[in-house]
Amino acid sequence: MSSKEQITRLASLAGITINGNKPYDIQVHNEKFYQRVLSQGSLGLGESYMDAWWDAEQLDETFHKFLGANLDKKIISSRIIFEILKAKFLNMQSLTRSKKVAEEHYDLGNDFYEHMLGKRMQYTCGYWKKAKTLEKAQEDKLDLICKKLQLKKGETVLELGSGWGQFAKFAAERYGVEVTSYNISKEQVKYSKEKAGNLPIIFLEQDYRTATGTFDKVVSIGMCEHVGYKNYKTFFEIMHRCLKPNGLCLVHTIGKDISVRTTDPWIAKYIFPNSMLPSVKQLSTAAEGLFVLEDWHNLDTDYDKTLMEWYHNFEKNWSKFKEQYGERFYRMWKYYLLSCAGLFRARRGQLWQIVFSKDGLPGGYRSLR
């Protein structure tokens, strides 16, 4: 069976027709596409899209169908095996290697991210229970986290991974707390300091593993995806060490239903170097003996909506960045946002907010939704 016949057959299992007339069907422009995908798996699929070898009118739905049918598990390339072996023998999220994602992704340009993420500058999933707009969904997400942490005026908060500093700013303004944030992205820390004004916030351009002091509450929003399975125990030990007795900590992270030691090869090469998504087992094992689990909330379908809003903003503002980044970057970013939307739509990715207490909250913990 030829590579074209094999790929055509696999696509049909997901209801996708090669060169068909439905918006999620794949339109092939280069016949080399078939062998490239068959030999290189997800890396070949993504790179061939970046090279304009194929298109789909509704790419997010293409991936919804593709991942819903588990087609990614049916094409195992040598690249996957290489990444698994590398992750086994190396700590891909060591102090040195962890800086790569900041330099290549988060330091891309604050202006670019402002136009994509919107006013709240939140690069994590919004909370769409009542929200109708991206800005409201992100504000509701920040408020939900503050309420889950039971923040009180005058308390101190340790934040591991601060993004563009908007949680710290929101918590300090709305709840009157003092925040110390750790972040390895030079551009994000610079932006955060400029926006914080005179609020009681300290932004440190340092790795989370250097955190010191004791705090009433600890929070990590969207950083656990960069911690790595070899460092989960250290991650929880740091939160435990820095948390006062009876304190609460919250981890907001994308997760997977199965335990892995590496990430998708295309994502690792072009979007989030040295990242990986944790599983329930990996996180609960790392927290065992350190914390009492108080709440585990899955908001995964909200990420589909968030990603589509980011994509619409990206498309609307692309003309401002076209000359700076070029066509291949455009196709790469479009592929990234829409394939991830398809991932959550297919329920292959999860988004968790997990609340832990250091000693078991006296009187119990009331879950918020």
Check residue 262 and give its pLDDT.
83
Residues 6+ apart with CB under 8 A from 261: 84, 87, 88, 229, 276
Helix (H, G, I), strand (E, B) or coil at 259: coil
Check residue 100 and give its pLDDT.
59
- Give the strand order in the sheet containing 350-357: 201-204, 178-182, 156-160, 215-221, 243-255, 350-357, 292-298
Comparing 79-93, 120-134, 345-359, the range with the smallest average pLDDT is 79-93
Check residue 101 and give its pLDDT.
54
Beta bridge partners of 160: 182
Angle between helix axes 134-148 and 300-317 (nearest 10 degrees) is: 140
Q: State the residue for tokens 């879950």.
A: 367
Comparing 94-98, 118-122, 161-165, 354-358, the range with the smallest average pLDDT is 94-98
User: 196-255, pLDDT tens digit by residue?
Assistant: 999 999 999 999 999 999 999 999 999 999 999 999 999 999 999 999 999 999 999 999
| Burial class of residue 48, CB neighbours in 10 A (0-12, 13-18, 19+) | buried
Strands 54-55 and 27-28, bridge-based pairing: antiparallel
Q: Are 103 and 180 in contact (CB under 8 A)?
A: no
- pLDDT higher for 89 or 297? 297
User: 63-84, pLDDT tens digit by residue?
Assistant: 999 999 988 776 654 444 444 4
Q: Is 242 assigned a catalytic role? A: no
